[in-house]
Amino acid sequence: MEPPTAQTTGPVIRMEDVTVASMQDLSAVVAEAVDWTVNPGDFWVVAGLQGTGKSDLLMMTGGLMPPAAGHYWLFGEEMPVFEESRLALRLRLGLVFDGGQLFNHLTAWENIALPVRYHRNLTRADAATEVQPFLEAMELGPWADSTPSAIGRNWRKRVGLARALMLKPEVLLVDSPLAGLDPRHVNWWLSVLGELSKGHPLLGGRPLTLVVTTADARPWKSLARQFGVLKNRRFVVLGTWAELEAASEELLQERLPAETRAG
């Protein structure tokens, strides 16, 4: 299946009075009354302390589970979208899991190539041409033939990013990209996601709509354009950094080393 080329003029994500359940226990609610709109070209950072449900919100947004209540539209179509006939809609959105969530029996190269080989039925040789630019951009060449267990968390996260970008999505959801990383890798992620939001050569220069979760919003101060805070089962949609700072002083006081400690 070829990557979709449809362009969106309205919101790419819209939620009305949505309730979000926990992925581990669908009877447990992590967020209620979520009203949220993400427009093309937005760069959202969703901040919340550990255990507040950031990952659950992102997984629901990515279509891995339905809203427990309320309505969620992706590219104007109500979610969840599980039907095979609507696969093209789902492929317009990419998801990067915390830690990569890679297939341990596959090499880094095979993990990255999997989307194009599966959805477009490419041979390994045909996929190699498309995988190579992503390997180079993520600096993964030395680990291409290694399985996830043989490479560090820093690099597994990059493999996950490359895999999510292979089908050139219009929207990218990234779960806690800075967690467990040392400062050098933190700076790399901030730089690359900034490029993707403006238009990276890997995507032909097309700006990517981004939603990122974090336990510490401060590294994103000069990069993200929209901020929200998930706390006490409420998702508070804010605008600028100044509005976030005024509304959530105690959140911003959380120490950065908790997220950037090497893993």
Q: Is the dihedral of CA 132, 136, 139, 141 positive or negative?
A: positive
- Kindly indicate the confidence band of residue 248, based on its pLDDT and cuts at 50, 70 and 90: low
AA letter at 221: K
d(CA 98, CA 175): 5
Cis peptide upstream of residue 207 (ω within 30 degrees of 0) = no
Instruction: Judge whether residue 10 has pLDDT over 50.
Output: yes
- How confident is the model over 83-104, as a mean pLDDT? 88
Higher pLDDT, residue 136 or 2: 136
Least confident residue range of 78-92, 147-161, 181-195, 213-227: 78-92
Instruction: Judge whether residue 219 has pLDDT over 60.
Output: yes
Domain 13-92+169-260 has CATH 3.20.20.70: no
pLDDT of residue 3: 40
- How confident is the model over 70-81, as a mean pLDDT? 92
Instruction: Judge whether residue 2 has pLDDT over 90.
Output: no
Q: What is the pTM of this model?
A: 0.89
d(CA 6, CA 170): 9
Instruction: Judge whether residue 256 has pLDDT over 80.
Output: no
Query: With contact defined as beta carbons under 8 Å apart, do 176 and 54 qualify?
Result: yes
pLDDT in tens, 159-195: 999 999 999 999 999 999 999 899 999 999 999 999 9
pLDDT in tens, 43-64: 999 999 888 999 999 999 999 9
Q: Provide, rounded to the nearest whole percent, the portion of the chain with pLDDT above 70.
A: 90
Instruction: Judge whether residue 69 has pLDDT over 80.
Output: yes
pLDDT in tens, 111-125: 999 999 999 999 999
Round the CA-based radius of gyration of the chain to a whole number and report it. 18
pLDDT of residue 8: 54
Sequence ranges of the domains in the chain = 13-92+169-260, 102-168
pLDDT of residue 245: 73
pLDDT of residue 254: 47
Residue 32's H or E segment, with its range, is: strand 29-38
For 38, phi and psi rounded to 5 degrees?
-115, 120
Centre a 10 Å sphere on the Cβ of residue 51 and count the other Cβ atoms it contains. Answer: 9
